[in-house]
Amino acid sequence: MLSTMQDVPLTVTRILNHGATVHGTSQVTTWTGESEPQRRSFREIGARAAQLAHALREDLGVGEDERVATFMWNNAEHVEAYFAVPCMGAVLHTLNLRLPAEQLTWIVGHAADRVIIVNGSLLGLIAPLLDRMPSVEHLVVSGPGDRSLLDGARARVHEYEDLIAAKPTDYDWPELDERRAAAMCYTSGTTGDPKGVVYSHRSIYLHSMQVNMSQSMGLTDADTSLVVVPQFHVNAWGLPHATFMTGVGMLMPDRFLQPAPLAEMIEAERPSHAAAVPTIWQGLLAELTAKPRDVSCMHQVTIGGAACPPSLMEAFDRLGVRVCHAWGMTETSPLGTVSRPPAHTIGTDEEFAYRLTQGRFPAGVEGRLIGPDGSRLPWDGESAGELEVRGPWIAGSYYGGAGGEDIRPEDKFSADGWLKTGDVGVISADGFLTLTDRAKDVIKSGGEWISSVDLENALMSHPDVAEAAVVAVPDEKWGERPLATVVLKEEATADYAALRDFLATRVAKWQLPERWAFVAAVPKTSVGKFDKKVLRRQYAHGELDVTRI
């Protein structure tokens, strides 16, 4: 028997309509680098999204399911595209600004993007590539930047504001099937070729509800979120959609992502929440050490995308800012786990250890650990295996390209449909996930596994260490051994022996690296994570100045 409930599709359009009316006065504030930021209400965003949809349909001929790409910073216009494109029945494809040219042109071709909405300040990056993007027919340019860079471009060039100016501020949005594609994002390819993940209206709707739950981000219309995580990095972790459900204000940094302007905007706009990968916060901490400012307005900072070093969490605690650690992937929309310690541990010695874990699965995400022999492992806090997840906002396949079938590689999806995350860890009896590594980053030394993350965390708790990345390198005797690459803070005095002695107080002796290299910076991926592929390559090519101790 079926229910008597209304079968209302869960669509991005419903999120937009809700935000633009019920929370119409909430604001998107975009940093401009000038004396005043740009402020736009959710009501105005809704009206301009309708105008943009008219322009895309009537002037550019964007049809159903067609991909409309964005090559943009986090800003109000990008939020407008976030709603206009899916709500009109097309598919928003956010392009990663920091990808190497070959990957970017490959992705645009694979998705068959015909329109790209681009920020003027990014024309220098995209203009030289247009000849290698034959599918692109229209460029819609928004915000300041040198338009002459597009002189002679094959694609037609439009000004965003001119295009939408005379259009009606409402749109007769179609009623869409909730399972239809709303947005897509390619994985950043840290561990291989980029793969297209396509989100549905339904997955975005349900994910947004979970983001808003108090055990996840739990923000309300009293909050403003500083959205540092790029809108091209898994939909800015769902924040633009989630905030339209609850009326949370958004503070958008646009291109001002360096530590100094970030500190400045926190001081000026006093956001109560912020979200970004650890490297951004390491940079901000260094800035705050050099030039102290009050950032305690940020009651909560969501850190994810890579493991949060304990030293980072402690440093933020000292500043009166509470870090909430979360784990996710492009394939998981991204909310996969969130670390909210159990109520009975709050205020006890146990609390900090819980906060450092990747956290618990929220309702809607199921997780299991699979051992090397394919067996399902118990949640006992000790049995380490690969994490697999499933749920309504978890990918079940990858985009196969225009006209192609979706693909389900065996190393990414189990026979019964779960996503193989490639992350290795343990789950405690009370459901807290602790990741020890990526399967590909684990150091296999003489039949034992060494966690690169444990070594990095231990090293980064040394007062002289700014950053540390540990990778596996081939070793004749042990198969693999850890190589520690370390960025020292300015005026630091520690040498390799001192760091090794320090590590010896924190990890087992057999895990101590013999190979050490001081580096000026740890190479980063396009979304700001340590790029271990590059480090391994540098080592293999003899490009690192390695000392054995």
Residues that bind ligand ADP (CB under 6 A): 187-191, 304-307, 325-330, 358, 421-423, 435, 438, 525, 527, 529
- d(CA 315, CA 296) in angstroms, rounded, equals 12
Which C-beta is closer to ligand ADP: that of 79 or that of 453? Answer: 453
Which C-beta is closer to ligand ADP: that of 231 or that of 421? Answer: 421
Nearest to 458 by CA among 500, 425, 489, 495: 500
- d(CA 421, CA 488) in angstroms, rounded, equals 32
Nearest distance, CB of residue 544 and ligand ADP, angstroms:
22
Q: Which two tokens stand for residue 407?
A: 């693909």
Cα dihedral sign, 69-71-74-75: negative
Nearest distance, CB of residue 293 and ligand ADP, angstroms:
26
Which C-beta is closer to ligand ADP: that of 139 or that of 453? Answer: 453
- Helix, strand and coil content of the chain, in percent to the nearest 5, comes to 30, 25, 45
Active site residue 444: yes
Nearest distance, CB of residue 308 and ligand ADP, angstroms:
6
Catalytic residue among 137, 449, 489, 514: 449
Catalytic residue among 77, 80, 287, 331: 331
Which C-beta is closer to ligand ADP: that of 14 or that of 340? Answer: 340
Residues paired with 385 in a beta bridge: 425
- d(CA 312, CA 282) in angstroms, rounded, equals 7
Nearest distance, CB of residue 279 and ligand ADP, angstroms:
12
CA dihedral 288, 522, 440, 454 (to 10 degrees): -50
8 Å CB contact between 243 and 3: no
Phi–psi pair at 465, nearest 5 degrees = -100, 125
E strands within 234-356?
249-252, 273-276, 300-303, 322-328, 335-338
Which C-beta is closer to ligand ADP: that of 86 or that of 425? Answer: 425
258: burial class by Cβ within 10 Å (0-12, 13-18, 19+)? Answer: middle
Active site residue 449: yes
Which C-beta is closer to ligand ADP: that of 249 or that of 425? Answer: 425
- d(CA 528, CA 65) in angstroms, rounded, equals 31
Nearest distance, CB of residue 212 and ligand ADP, angstroms:
20
Active site residue 509: no
Which C-beta is closer to ligand ADP: that of 86 or that of 189? Answer: 189
Nearest distance, CB of residue 337 and ligand ADP, angstroms:
8
Q: Are strands 224-227 and 273-276 parallel, antiparallel or unpaired?
A: parallel
Nearest to 393 by CA among 431, 363, 358, 365: 365
**Alpha-helical segments (H) within 153-277:** 160-165, 201-212, 234-237, 239-246, 259-269
Nearest to 244 by CA among 9, 36, 80, 72: 80
Residues 6+ apart with CB under 8 A from 394: 331, 332, 333, 336, 365, 419
Which C-beta is closer to ligand ADP: that of 37 or that of 230? Answer: 230
Nearest distance, CB of residue 64 and ligand ADP, angstroms:
28
220: burial class by Cβ within 10 Å (0-12, 13-18, 19+)? Answer: exposed
**What angle do the packed helices 239-246 and 76-87 form, to 10 degrees?**
90
Nearest distance, CB of residue 474 and ligand ADP, angstroms:
23
Active site residue 477: no
Q: Which residues form the catalytic set?
A: 187, 331, 444, 449
